[in-house]
Structure 1
Amino acid sequence: MSADGTNSRTVREDTLEVFRQLGLTTVFSNPSHTEMKLFEQWPDDFRFIMGLQEATVVGMADGYAQATGEPSLVVINGGPGTGNAMGSIYTAASAHTPMVIIGGLQARKLQQGAPFLNAPSATQLPQPYIKWAAEAARPQDVPALIEKAYHIAKQAPQGPVYVGVPEDDWIRPANSTPYKTRLVQAAVVPDPQVLADVADALNSAANPAIVAGPGVEIGGARRDLIKMAERLNARVYGSPVWPRGAFPENHPLFGGVLAPLPELINAKLADHDVVIVLGSPTFTLFTTADLFSTAPAPVDTSDAPKLPENTNFIHITDDPEAAAWSMAGSAYVTPPAAFVRGLVSLLPQRQRLALPPLSEPIPTPEASTPITEPYLFHVLSQELPTDAQVFEELPIGRAPFHEQIPLGPDNGYYATASGALGFPFAGAVGYAVARPDVRTVVVVGEGSAQYTIQALWTAGKYNLPVTFVIPNNSGYLSLKYYLDDTSQKAWQEGWDLSGVDMAGLARGFGISGERVETPEQLQAALRKALTADGPVLLDVVVSDPGLFRL
């Protein structure tokens, strides 16, 4: 207390202590005027990670949270700053990434007017892509509100939350009693009877299959899933739009990633009598086969997408909403990783027989100029560290990427969960902030890279061990090949990105950038980039691959 009996501690001081108690001492930010009172006399036990644009900042915080398994902290402007960040917030919500976003608002006494940087109805702006949003009724309630936001972000299904804080709240007096955080811990376990019923269904199946979703990896049950698959001798598929690897792709039971088309999903799964879907929706879809046609479309009288009728689908998810709309015959709301751990002991070892191959062996691509995408990925697979954490965004090259780079049990794999572009470029940088002990590798097309290109500056500023590999085909070719030949020519402005110099952009942001145009350059450039002290970008000129595969 001060000499006049008032409280000398401020809301800012109480909030910083709450951050400490919650472990939120790494702050991702692109600050504006409305947050500056928080940063006065900034304490030296906090780590401030600067980003040059809000979408990049949120993407970096997303990668950081996926690396640590704990909520990350973002501080941005609550009006135009949050607007800039919405694509990345949308992706974080789709990935169920726990994140506390503090949006800086104008001072309370200005809000009845229309001040500069105003954020009217601030808590509604990031809706519906966040779990929860609030603004404190009183300045002294800010610390308690931030703690509440933290616990909500961590609750399953996890996701980003938002707290709006007016600029002047930080300097107002705090409550007379210092705020102390509480213990809120998940104590949910799978129902033993459900475990037994699912185990019986799998044990009695003649040809069971597993669809592995990100929830397994988020809960740290990858090795348990390997045991489960091996005991069942079951084929394992990656869930459609695989945003996070949950099963090693070089394992003999891996059957590839399911395409996000109902027709292709059914073709893969129809021969199995029991399919268990773990930690993924059933299913994330991108389009349907009929929409690839350019012919005149009749009235649509077709049914909504359905799964094969003769297959028993069992869905395990911690997301009640995903269970509510699931196409599976049975859906259970329970922690997927804990369910896998509980299930393993109920599955006796089956005879291990080699499963029939799903396709012809993938041929080794040949060197050529210009370099082909498969050849680039083949050479990258030869140089990739066994513990590299790989971030991928290749709308047109995902199929050859997975064919040529079968990631192992110690490789992490991360991709966008939403379809919004930009996460891997920024997410990899945030991941490297949390895990500077491993090499983080980004494989992203030159079009996707533009959405969070500012992450290059942050990677350079903090000298992070990130290797950016850009297959540069000079266009948004995933859009080009939706069109027939005539439309491609007429609409060239919509997909042609010729002239983008990614190596030059990298150097402009302060990191090493090299353009690779021939196979003779490629292997040495990759080897050097994957072992460098700090970030490196390789701009690899590749040929137009033609019609892409899902």
Structure 2
Amino acid sequence: MTAEQANSRTVREATLELFRALGMTTVFSNPSHTEMKLFEQWPDDFKFVMGLQEASIVGMADGHAQATGEPSLVIINGGPGVGNAMGSIYTAASAHTPMVILGGQQARKLLLGEPFLKASDATQLPKPYIKWAGEPARPQDVPALIEKAYHIAKQAPAGPVFVAVPEDDWIRPAAPGPIKVREVRSAVVPDPEVLATIASALDGAERPALVAGPGVEIGGARLDLVRLAERLNARVYGSPVWPRGSFPETHPLFGGVLAPMPELINMKLAEHDVVVVLGSPTFTLFTTVDLFSTNPAALDESDQPALPEGTRVLHVTDSPEAAAWSMADAAYVCPPAQAVRDLLPLVREHEKVALPSFREEIPVPEATTPLTQAYLFHLLAQELPADAQLFEELPIARADFHEQIPLGPDNGYFATASGALGFPFAGAVGYAVARPDRRAVVVMGEGSAQYTLHALWTAAQHNLPVTFIIPNNSGYLSLKYYLDESSQKAWHSGWDLSGVNMAELARGFGCPAERIESPESLRASLKAALNADGPVLLDVVVQDPGLFRL
């Protein structure tokens, strides 16, 4: 590019050059008119992924970033568009997903008033669920601000960032000179003294345990953690409500996923003298035992949740904030995956003594009408491709899912990191955009599916290899079973979802679908759906499973 060409560019042209230089040529968007000047004369070397609603857009970008490990690019309206997307932004922040969100703002000359689609205090709207937000002081600052946002999104702990861009900035002159992308690399490594402390604690332990958090998988150290656990002969637990599978569930040292209740966590960890938590907060909690009671509560004089006395807990995290509120005896801020790799040569080989099985033998479910969710998962496990990537959201059925579908070393596992509903439907679509060579399998209740249902249209438009499996129990049963029997009847309209036909909804979005109400054809339908050329949804009617298990 000549100096004359560089000096005649618009902000739009300079920004597209920047996106190319950063490798951000896949765009997830549902634009409003405030972004349309960016899309004029759209270049054919960019992949535009359209979604029908902003929550689905951000969820798809979340899945894409988790597949690539690089920041994804979202372009939506900065006012109501961001408002629609907030549940998905909340989830992306909880999952530490790197993401750059460009929010369209009204033209600068209109901002003195209250124009249609204005984003008032645009940088404040998505807070606190973004790492950083910026708004350009001058139009020519847009590319530099986006590059800054990109680097912040990638820095550990990663997360979504936001840049508000006024509509007319795109057609203003860009800053003179060529686009330059700086190299920004993390120089943070585990402190050798910290590693020696952890290694000494593990070497001296009689009953060591490791807790595998999502940071291990995000950093690519899953197999390193397997080797570390085998060297230590240590039980490995999944961190509570883990959003990424960081240890194979089929491994004999796996002890299951810790329940998100302090009392149940302590029952597990009290069996060990040393526990090292890797890449997870200590701990993500959902409730406590006393909150399951429906009786009036007395004055709360209970202590804050704490870990068991007599168990030394060491915590490795890349999040300074998580370290600051950690319940562990000591917390160390460093890259968890690298810590796992560096610990391997430092710990001694422990005696290989068979650990007691953590679970009772799981009975084989029987075929019934209506079907049980356990039978559905049992058949699904037999038909799953060995490298299937599973996206799960089953508030009422997670125990059955993990019992019947123990995930192996080549299976990816993705779930909501926040408790906000809807991630798997959209996340699997975004993952498939990045990795069409692998089958993404969504297992998600019909209630959760409503939050990002629009992602079905995008999956169909791009003919993506995603299989959507809906255990349809006709209700928000995770809410139902928080109530006693009389309250369930009185509040029936608050949890009942009778009449939701997911197969018909999917076909309306152009996605092939089948509704299954008996066991006769289930296996054949699963096999076909998992080997289809493109997306398929199976709406499987299942019976009410009763009180959920953590």
1:354 aligns with 2:330: no
Q: Which deviations, in whole Å up to 9, do the C-alpha atoms of 1:16-66 show, x marking residues without a partner?
A: 011011110000000110000000011111100000000000000000000
Distance in 2 (alpha carbons) for counterparts of 1:353 and 1:153:
44
DSSP 3-state at the match of 2:521: helix
State the Cα distance separating 1:187 from its structure 2 match: 2.0
Distance in 2 (alpha carbons) for counterparts of 1:349 and 1:467:
43
Q: What are the within-5 Å matches in structure 2 for residues 528-547 of structure 1? A: 528-547=528-547
Distance in 2 (alpha carbons) for counterparts of 1:222 and 1:360:
26
Distance in 1 (alpha carbons) for counterparts of 2:523 and 2:89:
37
State the Cα distance separating 1:6 from its structure 2 match: 11
Distance in 2 (alpha carbons) for counterparts of 1:174 and 1:280:
43
**One-letter identity of the residue aligned with 1:16:** L
State the Cα distance separating 1:8 from its structure 2 match: 2.1
- 2:177 equivalent in structure 1: 177
1:327 aligns with 2:327: yes
State the Cα distance separating 1:5 from its structure 2 match: 12
- 1:398 equivalent in structure 2: 398
Equivalent residues of 2:256, 2:358 under 8 A apart: no
State the Cα distance separating 1:122 from its structure 2 match: 0.3
State the Cα distance separating 1:521 from its structure 2 match: 1.3
- 1:212 equivalent in structure 2: 212
Q: Which runs of 5+ in 2 are unaligned?
A: none
**One-letter identity of the residue aligned with 2:246:** A
Distance in 2 (alpha carbons) for counterparts of 1:401 and 1:71:
30
- 1:130 equivalent in structure 2: 130
State the Cα distance separating 1:158 from its structure 2 match: 0.3
State the Cα distance separating 1:351 from its structure 2 match: 1.9
Distance in 1 (alpha carbons) for counterparts of 2:540 and 2:142:
49
- 1:55 equivalent in structure 2: 55
State the Cα distance separating 1:196 from its structure 2 match: 1.0
- 1:89 equivalent in structure 2: 89
- 2:19 equivalent in structure 1: 19
- 1:256 equivalent in structure 2: 256
- 1:491 equivalent in structure 2: 491
Distance in 1 (alpha carbons) for counterparts of 2:376 and 2:255:
23
Distance in 2 (alpha carbons) for counterparts of 1:7 and 1:501:
57
- 2:41 equivalent in structure 1: 41
Distance in 2 (alpha carbons) for counterparts of 1:303 and 1:125:
35
DSSP 3-state at the match of 2:256: strand
Q: What are the within-5 Å matches in structure 2 for residues 106-145 of structure 1? A: 106-145=106-145
**One-letter identity of the residue aligned with 2:271:** D
- 1:418 equivalent in structure 2: 418
Distance in 1 (alpha carbons) for counterparts of 2:35 and 2:22:
20
- 1:313 equivalent in structure 2: 313
Distance in 1 (alpha carbons) for counterparts of 2:125 and 2:498:
36
Q: Which deviations, in whole Å up to 9, do the C-alpha atoms of 1:454-486 show, x marking residues without a partner?
A: 000000000000000000000000000000110
DSSP 3-state at the match of 1:302: coil
DSSP 3-state at the match of 1:129: coil
State the Cα distance separating 1:7 from its structure 2 match: 4.0
- 1:344 equivalent in structure 2: 344
Using the size of structure 1 for normalisation, the TM-score is 0.99
DSSP 3-state at the match of 1:341: helix
**One-letter identity of the residue aligned with 1:437:** D
Distance in 2 (alpha carbons) for counterparts of 1:283 and 1:155:
22
- 1:71 equivalent in structure 2: 71
Relative to structure 1, the CA distance from residue 6 to residue 381 in structure 2 (aligned partners, 3 Å threshold; closer, same or farther) is closer
Distance in 2 (alpha carbons) for counterparts of 1:144 and 1:343:
39
Distance in 2 (alpha carbons) for counterparts of 1:524 and 1:85:
37
- 1:549 equivalent in structure 2: 549
**One-letter identity of the residue aligned with 2:378:** H
State the Cα distance separating 1:186 from its structure 2 match: 1.3
**One-letter identity of the residue aligned with 1:223:** L
DSSP 3-state at the match of 1:120: coil
- 2:167 equivalent in structure 1: 167
Equivalent residues of 2:471, 2:539 under 8 A apart: yes
- 2:468 equivalent in structure 1: 468
**One-letter identity of the residue aligned with 1:525:** S
State the Cα distance separating 1:518 from its structure 2 match: 1.1
State the Cα distance separating 1:159 from its structure 2 match: 0.2
DSSP 3-state at the match of 1:29: strand
Distance in 2 (alpha carbons) for counterparts of 1:252 and 1:65:
31
Distance in 2 (alpha carbons) for counterparts of 1:392 and 1:440:
11
More divergent stretch after superposition (175-184 vs 123-132): 175-184
DSSP 3-state at the match of 1:323: helix
**One-letter identity of the residue aligned with 1:260:** P
- 1:298 equivalent in structure 2: 298
Using the size of structure 2 for normalisation, the TM-score is 0.99
State the Cα distance separating 1:359 from its structure 2 match: 3.0
Q: Which deviations, in whole Å up to 9, do the C-alpha atoms of 1:413-458 show, x marking residues without a partner?
A: 0000000001011000000000000000000000000000000000
State the Cα distance separating 1:179 from its structure 2 match: 2.3
Q: Which deviations, in whole Å up to 9, do the C-alpha atoms of 1:80-119 show, x marking residues without a partner?
A: 0000000000000000000000000000000111101011
Distance in 1 (alpha carbons) for counterparts of 2:370 and 2:275:
43
Identity across aligned pairs (percent)? 77
Distance in 1 (alpha carbons) for counterparts of 2:490 and 2:28:
43
More divergent stretch after superposition (170-179 vs 97-106): 170-179
DSSP 3-state at the match of 1:122: coil
Q: Which deviations, in whole Å up to 9, do the C-alpha atoms of 1:195-252 show, x marking residues without a partner?
A: 1111010011000001000000000000000000000001100000111000000000
- 1:238 equivalent in structure 2: 238
Q: Which deviations, in whole Å up to 9, do the C-alpha atoms of 1:471-519 show, x marking residues without a partner?
A: 0000000000000110000000000000001000010000101001111
DSSP 3-state at the match of 2:463: coil
Distance in 1 (alpha carbons) for counterparts of 2:52 and 2:244:
26
DSSP 3-state at the match of 1:345: helix
Distance in 2 (alpha carbons) for counterparts of 1:365 and 1:494:
30
DSSP 3-state at the match of 1:124: coil
Distance in 2 (alpha carbons) for counterparts of 1:230 and 1:243:
24
Equivalent residues of 2:6, 2:177 under 8 A apart: no
**One-letter identity of the residue aligned with 1:173:** P
Equivalent residues of 2:103, 2:164 under 8 A apart: yes
**One-letter identity of the residue aligned with 2:257:** V
Q: What are the within-5 Å matches in structure 2 for residues 364-375 of structure 1? A: 364-375=364-375
**One-letter identity of the residue aligned with 1:331:** A
More divergent stretch after superposition (136-145 vs 293-302): 293-302
1:28 aligns with 2:15: no
Q: Which deviations, in whole Å up to 9, do the C-alpha atoms of 1:254-283 show, x marking residues without a partner?
A: 010000000000001101000000000000
| Count of aligned pairs | 550
- 1:186 equivalent in structure 2: 186
- 2:279 equivalent in structure 1: 279
DSSP 3-state at the match of 1:170: helix
**One-letter identity of the residue aligned with 2:193:** Q
Q: Which runs of 4+ in 1 moved over 6 A?
A: none
State the Cα distance separating 1:402 from its structure 2 match: 0.4
Distance in 2 (alpha carbons) for counterparts of 1:408 and 1:467:
19
State the Cα distance separating 1:341 from its structure 2 match: 0.2
Q: Which runs of 5+ in 1 are unaligned?
A: none
**One-letter identity of the residue aligned with 1:526:** L
